[in-house]
Structure 1
């Protein structure tokens, strides 16, 4: 497999579907939906959570499925690898809305974390240590350490459905979608007021007027910490200056919604974690169109303030990409809807 040192710019337009993995069916014949994807730190394994209450582990180098782990009692969403080998943290979708840390080797629980009284909407792991953030539909944000069952701190905010750490693990951003704002906190002073608040009201009035105050699906820092991606369900995605909160670009080109309820389900739609993300170098954003047509690529070096059209389209061969995740180490990525698909540069297929 080509290492990420091969410049992303040289291969990003060559990505093509390389391998699809068969999805599962319910007893009534309907398809189950993958709700989240995550790669481990080394980029060698992928975990997919699905609404059939099980998670699946894939070996990236071998291009094969290695293990399926049911979670019928608790449900599973937002499954994420920790920095510890073979451990996955995930949010329950039933029972007490707890978070659970699972050891994959023997499929046993290491620890569980209980604080939320409603569905957890986002999990964000610190890039530097064992801290993580959880956001919930109960308007609660918790800062945790994987080694303790009790939160290190709590915040009560208005619809704080999404959160992200910056690459230095010094700043965390919390998106409050009903107030159209992003709150910036110093992680060391989590209990203090945010040091900055970015208001997106005017941007939403200009670019997403019919969905103002809703439909935010993703919050992510670029790897250099200078940009902040705010993904939306339909109209496009905002790329902000992460220091000033000003608009760098609004990424257009989507033609449909994803059909997912991200991050909160009020209509019975399957959950999701957003269909756009930065590439490893932070230069590009890759995202779905909302239907089964091409994946879209936006080159942020070509961005000008205002709407930005895709700089490339990647043929999907009918693969719908309701969830999109780029591998942190290798030039490959994964997408999912009812099945998981691995993408590689076409000269590696």
Structure 2
């Protein structure tokens, strides 16, 4: 066994090592479980699929024909997920057991599509943001929301890795909340430099020091999560209002891989900027998730692709330890 350090060269060498092409619609959401090798996907073909990434196997497919499925996230338990609907008539979130395809709980409260969902690590809490211009706070153990925050635009929400803080982005600002005292309002508000287009995705880096925010205008802002300073802004092709521009930090927090409005995949170094771009025949931005602690990321479009370094492109093996 060897471990390889992630460098510009290693990232440039990444290519699709394997793909699952048996989807009958676009993948709308993906999530890695933080402690296992499991990946879950949601797709427009109304399926939820569970993969064992280590063994490159699809373990099970569950259909949600009645409600559709849009966003999906693992709970701490790798066999249960929380997911949002896509049918346009029931905006409840659902807590689903993948073992026996049973609903454990419904979370009712939103009146329009849920566009952002983040589960708190280490606790039972989660937060959801909707086009109804509310952000709701939930406890997995009870059906009623625990708190409501009103927003002026489409919100993007995210818990930090410690579960102490959550952030809400909209209208060119990121608002920081203490998870225990959110009702007091944000303890800090950070500007992202005049980009007032709709927020798409908000994420903390694995060490919690940075945040990334993507917007429909095709910008990826990297912000210091303590000081609020914008460290860098990258741009890709803008996305249509019904698509989502997704980006993901590498496990060391030093690189970002992003989709683009023209369907391509782009990689950036947080320090130095753009490193690589991989073209695509697709015309919509792919979803992107980096596998925790691994030299691999996945992209989701009308197929699920696993990207790994191509060692033959790396002339020297200096990166191996």
Q: Assess same fold via TM > 0.5.
A: yes
- Is the contact between residue 240 and residue 249 of structure 1 (CA under 8 Å) also seen in structure 2? yes
2:238 corresponds to 1:257: yes
For 1:229, the equivalent position in structure 2 comes to 212
Summarize deviations over 1:214-235 as a string: whole Å, max 9, x none.
Answer: 2421101112222111112343
1:75 to 62, 68, 72: 68
Give aligned pairs, total.
310
Residue 285 of structure 1 and its aligned partner are, at CA, apart by 0.7
2:17 corresponds to 1:18: yes
- Is the contact between residue 288 and residue 296 of structure 1 (CA under 8 Å) also seen in structure 2? yes
Structure with the largest fraction of helix: 1
Superposed, 1:1-349 pairs within 5 Å as 6-9=4-7, 11-25=10-24, 32-94=25-87, 95-177=89-171, 180-200=172-192, 203-204=193-194, 212-252=195-235, 254=236, 256-259=237-240, 261=241, 265=242, 271-272=243-244, 274-293=245-264, 295-302=265-272, 308=273, 310-313=274-277, 315=278, 322-347=286-311
- Is the contact between residue 268 and residue 276 of structure 2 (CA under 8 Å) also seen in structure 1? yes
- Is the contact between residue 121 and residue 162 of structure 1 (CA under 8 Å) also seen in structure 2? yes
Summarize deviations over 1:48-72 as a string: whole Å, max 9, x none.
Answer: 1112222122220121222221111
- In structure 2, stretches of 5+ residues that fail to align are 313-321
Q: In 1, Cα distance between the equivalents of 2:114 and 2:197?
A: 17
Q: In 1, Cα distance between the equivalents of 2:304 and 2:190?
A: 35
Distance 1:131 1:34, change over 3 A: same
- Is the contact between residue 234 and residue 290 of structure 1 (CA under 8 Å) also seen in structure 2? no
Residue 23 of structure 1 and its aligned partner are, at CA, apart by 4.1
Q: How big is the alpha-carbon RMSD for the aligned residues of Structure 1 and Structure 2?
A: 2.3
- Is the contact between residue 43 and residue 328 of structure 1 (CA under 8 Å) also seen in structure 2? no
Residue 291 of structure 1 and its aligned partner are, at CA, apart by 2.9
- Is the contact between residue 43 and residue 330 of structure 1 (CA under 8 Å) also seen in structure 2? no
Larger RCO, structure (CA 8 Å, separation 6 or more): 1
Residue 115 of structure 1 and its aligned partner are, at CA, apart by 0.9
Q: In 1, Cα distance between the equivalents of 2:214 and 2:204?
A: 11
Q: In 2, Cα distance between the equivalents of 1:339 and 1:34?
A: 7
Q: In 2, Cα distance between the equivalents of 1:338 and 1:85?
A: 24
Q: In 1, Cα distance between the equivalents of 2:261 and 2:280?
A: 14
The alignment's TM-score, normalised by the length of structure 2, stands at 0.88
Q: In 1, Cα distance between the equivalents of 2:105 and 2:199?
A: 30
